[in-house]
Amino acid sequence: MRYQHVCLEAVTHTLPPNVVTSDDIEQQLEPVYSRLHLPQGRLELMTGIIERRFFDPGVLPGDVSAATASAALEESGLCRSTIGALIHGSVCRDQLEPATAAGVHARVGGLPREAFVLDVSNACLGLLNGMVMIADMIELGRIQAGIVVGTETGRSLVERTVESLIEDKSLTRQSIKGAFASLTIGSGSAAVVLCDRRLSRTGHRFLGGEFRSDTASHLLCKGGELHSSDGDSRPLMETDSEALLHAGIALAEATWERARATLCWQNEDVDAVYTHQVGKQHRSMLMQRLGLDPGLDFPTVERFGNTGAAALPMAMSLGLEQSPPSSGDHLALLGIGSGLNSLMLGIEAG
C-alpha cells in the first residue's frame, strides 16, 4: 500500500500514575517461588522489564482514551469539524457493545455526527490497523482527517494471573511458563491523528507499508476469558513465549522485506524505528534479524512493560517528543501482533 495524500499530524500518549515493579510482583508470588524453587529476579532477568504502570482500579479505557484523543486533537491544531473518523483500536474496551469509540466520541465533544465511529480489534496491531483504515479513507477522498486512539488497562490481567498462580497447587516449573508473559503486561494510552496533506502543518508524509500474516500460529498466544466457572470476569492469557518469539520474528523479517520494497527503502535509509515491544530478547532479536541498527530503536518496555496495541504509538510519541525528526528523516513503524499478524509502515518527516 502506498499513500500520496496522507500526513501524520499528531501523536500523543497518556501514562498511568501507578508504578508496579517486577520485584513487587515477585514478592506477591513468593509462596509460588519458594515452592518451585524459583530464583528472585527471574521476571526482570528474563524480560528486561523493571516496572510497568497501571491506571487506578475501575478506570475505564474509554475515559482515558477520551483524554488522550482530546490532547491529540489539540496538538494537531485541526478543527474538530474536519475529523471524519474516530477509531478505538485497543484490546481493552469498556464493554462488548456498543463500541467504546461511541463513548469516546461523546466524551471528546465537538466531533461531527457524520464521522465514522467504530472499534477495531486485532491484538497488538489495533491502533496501526486503525491508522491504515483512516489513511485509506483520506486517500479515497471520503474524509479530510481522522483519529485512532486506544487504552490498555492491564491491571486486572496481571492481578488475576498472580492470584491464579498462588491458588494453583498443581503448578510446576514447566506449567508456570505459560503464565509468565501475562506478568509482563502494563497499561498505557496513545492516539494518532492523520489528515490530508492540504491540511497538514507538520508535513510528515504517511507513505504506506505492508501487511503479512501467519495464522497457523494463532494459538501461540490466546487470552481474554470473559466468564469463568468461579464467576471471575477478569481476563487470563496463556502464551507459548518461545514459539511465539521465533514465529513472530520470522514473520517480521518477511514483512520488513516486503515493506522496504514497497517504500523503496534500504536499511541505510531508516533514521528511527518504533516497535511493538514485549521484552529485551524480542527487541534484540528483531533488530538483528531485520539488519537494523539497535541504536535506531526507542526502547520503552523496560519502564512500561508490554502495553499491547498502545505500545508502538506510545514509543513513537515519546520518541518524537524526546528527539524531534529532521526534515526528510525516515521513520519505520514495525508492528507485530498475536494471530500472527505483522504491519510495517513508513513515514517521511516534513
Tens digits of per-residue pLDDT, 103-128?
999 999 999 999 999 999 999 999 99
Residue 198 covered by a domain: no
pLDDT tens digits for 81-108?
A: 999 999 999 999 999 999 999 999 999 9
pLDDT tens digits for 44-60?
A: 998 999 999 999 999 99
Is 142's pLDDT higher than 70? Answer: yes
Q: Of 124, 210, 302, 348, which one is the catalytic site residue?
A: 124
Q: Which domain holds residue 228?
A: 205-348
pLDDT band at 279 (very low <50, low <70, confident <90, very high): confident
Report residue 300 CA to chain centroid gap. 11
Is 227's pLDDT higher than 50? Answer: no
For the residues 218-222, what does the mean pLDDT come to? 79
- What is the structure's pLDDT at 159? 94
Residue 312 covered by a domain: yes
Residue 276 covered by a domain: yes
2: buried, middle or exposed (CB in 10 Å: 19+, 13-18, 0-12)? Answer: exposed
Contact (CB, 8 A) for 209 and 274: no
- What is the structure's pLDDT at 282? 84
Q: Which residues of 188-202 are buried (b: 16+ CB within 10 A; e: fewer)?
A: bbbbbbbbbeebbeb
pLDDT band at 230 (very low <50, low <70, confident <90, very high): very low
Nearest to 298 by CA among 289, 290, 287: 287
The residues near 17 (Cβ < 8 Å, ≥ 6 apart) are 53, 55, 56
- What is the structure's pLDDT at 232? 53
pLDDT tens digits for 176-189?
A: 888 888 899 999 99
C-alpha grid cell, residue 289: 534479524
User: Is 97 assigned a catalytic role?
Assistant: yes
Task: Please calculate the CA angle 114-117-123 and round it to the nearest 5 degrees.
Answer: 160
Peptide bond into 98 cis (omega under 30): yes
Is 276's pLDDT higher than 50? Answer: yes
Taking the CA atoms of 232, 235, 240 and 242 in sequence, report the sign of the dihedral they define.
negative
C-alpha grid cell, residue 232: 471471575
Helix (H, G, I), strand (E, B) or coil at 47: helix
pLDDT band at 234 (very low <50, low <70, confident <90, very high): low
Q: In this structure, what are the phi and psi dihedrals at residue 255, rounded to the nearest 5 degrees?
A: -70, -40
Q: What mean pLDDT, rounded, does the chain reach?
A: 93
Q: What is the DSSP letter of 97?
A: S
Nearest to 45 by CA among 304, 336, 302, 308: 302
Contact (CB, 8 A) for 92 and 152: yes
Residue 145 covered by a domain: no
Please name the residue ranges forming H helices in the chain: 22-28, 30-36, 42-47, 61-76, 100-108, 126-139, 155-167, 177-180, 241-263, 280-290, 301-304, 311-322
Residue 254 covered by a domain: yes
Residue 274 covered by a domain: yes
- What is the structure's pLDDT at 178? 81
Q: What is the DSSP letter of 115?
A: S
For the residues 195-204, what does the mean pLDDT come to? 98
- What is the structure's pLDDT at 225? 52
Q: In this structure, what are the phi and psi dihedrals at residue 103, rounded to the nearest 5 degrees?
A: -65, -40
Residue 176 covered by a domain: no
- Give the integer Cα–Cα distance in Å for 242 and 46: 12
Lowest mean pLDDT of 194-198, 284-288, 333-337, name the range.
284-288
Nearest to 186 by CA among 100, 95, 309, 88: 309
- What is the structure's pLDDT at 228? 42
Length of the chain: 350
C-alpha grid cell, residue 43: 521476571
- What is the structure's pLDDT at 293? 96
- What is the structure's pLDDT at 243? 82
Q: Cell 506510545 appears where?
A: 314
Report residue 317 CA to chain centroid gap. 12
In the chain, the number of structural domains is 1
C-alpha to C-alpha distances, 210 to 12, 132, 207, 261, 334, nearest whole angstrom:
24, 10, 11, 9, 10
Q: What is the DSSP letter of 56?
A: P
CATH assignment of the domain containing 215: 3.40.47.10
Residue 62 covered by a domain: no
- What is the structure's pLDDT at 220? 77
